[in-house]
Every structure is written in C-alpha cells, then in structure tokens.
Amino acid sequence: MARPVTLFTGQWADLPLTVLAEKAKSFGYDGLELACWGDHFEVDKALESDAYIRARRDILEQHGLKCFAISTHLVGQCVADALIDERHKSILPARIWGDGDPEGVRQRAAQEVIKTAHAAQAFGVSVVNGFTGSPVWHLIYRFPPTSDAMIDAGYKDFAARWKPILDAFAGQGVRFALEAHPGEIAYDIHTATHALAALDQHPSFGFNFDPSHMIHQFVDPVAFLDEFADRIFHVHIKDARVQLDGRSSILSSHLDFGDPRRGWDFVSPGRGDVEWDPIMRALNRIGYAGPLSIEWEDNGMDRAWGTQEALAMVRGQDFAPSDVSFDAAFGDRDE
C-alpha cells in the first residue's frame, strides 16, 4: 500500500518548525501532521497573511515533506468540556482564555476551531484532527446517581456546540477527525455511536483512529475500524502497554505518565500491546489510503531514537492487500 508516513508535531512543539522539518526528513519521514501550537501552524497568522501560508509550505517543500492534516487538539478540548479550569488555561493561547469565564472560553474556542477549518482550506489540507471536550466525562462512574437523562442532556449540549462548527467545516470542504480518547465525548465504540447519533450523522464528523487509547481500555481497535469504516478520516500510530500489578488499575491511580506504578502507559510504537498486523489488514479492508501519522510518546526513551525505530516498524508493517486469490494459480496450468 505504501501509505505516506508522517510525524505528528504536537510532542515536538519545543522546536521551531524549521528545525523539526530538517530532523523529520533526515529520519526518513514523508511529511508532518502540523499541530496548531508552538510555531508549527498558527491559525491567526494563517488567516491574516497569505505569506504565512506560503512560508509554512516553503519549509515543508524545502525538505521534501507533505502535510495531509493539521491538528487542534488543545483548543478543541475546550469547546464542550463541562469543567473549565487551570488545566485549560495551561493549554490555551491567552486570547482564547481571556478572563477565564468558562462559557466565554468555550465560545472563543469554538470560534477558533471554525477559523482552523478556514486556515486548513487555505493551507490546502482537508482534515483537521482534534478533541471535542465532553459535557459528560465527569459523570463516567454513574455515582453519585447519574440518570440516563443527564447523559442524554450532555450529548445534546455537545451536539449544540459542535453542529455549527461542523457546518462551517462542510462549507470549507474540510472534515473534523475526533481522536476517540478518554476525556472526550467518544472514547469507545458505544460512545462514538452515541456521538454520531447526537450529531445526526453529520458528514463532516469522523475519527482520527488511534489504537493506543483503546488498548488500555480493553477495546478492540479492529472492531472500531470495522464499525466506523466510512468515518476513519486519519490514522495515528501510537502504542500503549498495560502493566497491571494488582495494586494499580486502568484508571491510572492519579499517577503521571512515565510513573512505573501506573496500570498502563504510552510506549514507542511496536513496544506495547497494540497488534499492528490486524490493524493494517483492517485498514486495507476498509480502503483507508491516507497517511499513517506517528504520534510518539514514551517517557522512557529518547524521542529522536524512538521516532526512527517507530518509522522502521511502520514501514515493515504497511503492506498492500493482495489483488488475487492465493490459490488462483492452482487452476492455471498446462494440461
């Protein structure tokens, strides 16, 4: 299949794009998935100046790199979260945080995501990856007693906030790909189905498939691909390892990433519990021909070394489907 392999720049935002582009090319990547933070892709500047768009493109082209998607995870998170607090302030530009009034933050974040669709169209990409936030994540345990009506109200609130955004995306010919993830409106198959229903199956809403967020929840990544075959707009390559020891749980015990006491953690692709062969076969089966974007997270490994190893792993796993039945030749012989 030889899908393009890109590097998501979100975990490299400490480096200027000029430096990261040179590194990514030297590692052997085909392109970059540009995060809308750091200096990698700044939405306000992209909408103010065609020269900014051209300069971003020039950096990529100078290194023979392509861009298939940009990502607005941090701002998107703030559109529909029930609780807006100092965590959100830490990930937002000051112009969106403003005075910190929660509803004001949500409204400014929503407008920024709409602007991101316009910037993506101007930049020439048709997919924006990101988070949505969730009005119901804090209700996950169903205690204190949580009614179905409360959950349904949360999904209605999510839809009311996101439908206008998705309409704006449709107007730009751009699609939004939610990275199904704990803390979002969709984090497994049931909640993804619920989110789509709440949105009336909006055609501009789909998923950035990332198996690392499923494997530690004991959700089958292949089942997710089969269930939402026509909604897989983008793919992240990321891995996780479950390391339950009888003392911790999959809820992570309020321990930070990298703490060996956690019940699970992210690790470099190929070193965790994700089985890549069934996933590649499923991607072939559903006809996904887009990029495979490595989102590298492993607190126990040097990232430059790890991203090169991960790239080699992906190249070795990404095979084309067969165009013939393996036993067809049995009947093709001279008598």
Structure confidence at residue 327 (pLDDT): 62
pTM for the model stands at: 0.96
d(CA 23, CA 269): 19
Strands 31-35 and 292-294, sheet pairing: unpaired
Q: How many domains is the chain built from? A: 1
CATH of the domain at 325: 3.20.20.150
Tens of pLDDT, residue by residue over 140-185, are 999 999 999 999 999 999 999 999 999 999 999 999 999 999 999 9
Q: What is the mean pLDDT of the chain?
A: 96
Structure confidence at residue 313 (pLDDT): 97
Mean pLDDT over 181-193 rounds to 98
Q: Quick one: 243 exposed, middle or buried, by C-beta within 10 A (0-12, 13-18, 19+)?
A: middle
Percent of the chain with pLDDT over 70: 96
Q: Is the pLDDT of residue 325 over 80?
A: no
Helix (H) or strand (E) holding 232: strand 232-237
pLDDT band at 18 (very low <50, low <70, confident <90, very high): very high
Tens of pLDDT, residue by residue over 239-277, are 999 999 999 999 999 999 999 999 999 999 999 999 999
Mean pLDDT over 62-91 rounds to 98
- Give me the domain span that covers residue 29: 5-331
Structure confidence at residue 321 (pLDDT): 86
Q: Which two tokens stand for residue 4?
A: 């393009």
Q: Is the pLDDT of residue 329 over 80?
A: no
pLDDT band at 326 (very low <50, low <70, confident <90, very high): low
Q: Is the pLDDT of residue 232 over 90?
A: yes
Q: Is the pLDDT of residue 44 over 90?
A: yes
pLDDT band at 322 (very low <50, low <70, confident <90, very high): confident
The residues, ordered by sequence, that sit 6+ positions from 269 with a Cβ below 8 Å of its Cβ are: 237, 238, 239, 276, 294, 296, 310, 313, 314
Q: List residues bridging with 268 in a β-sheet.
A: none
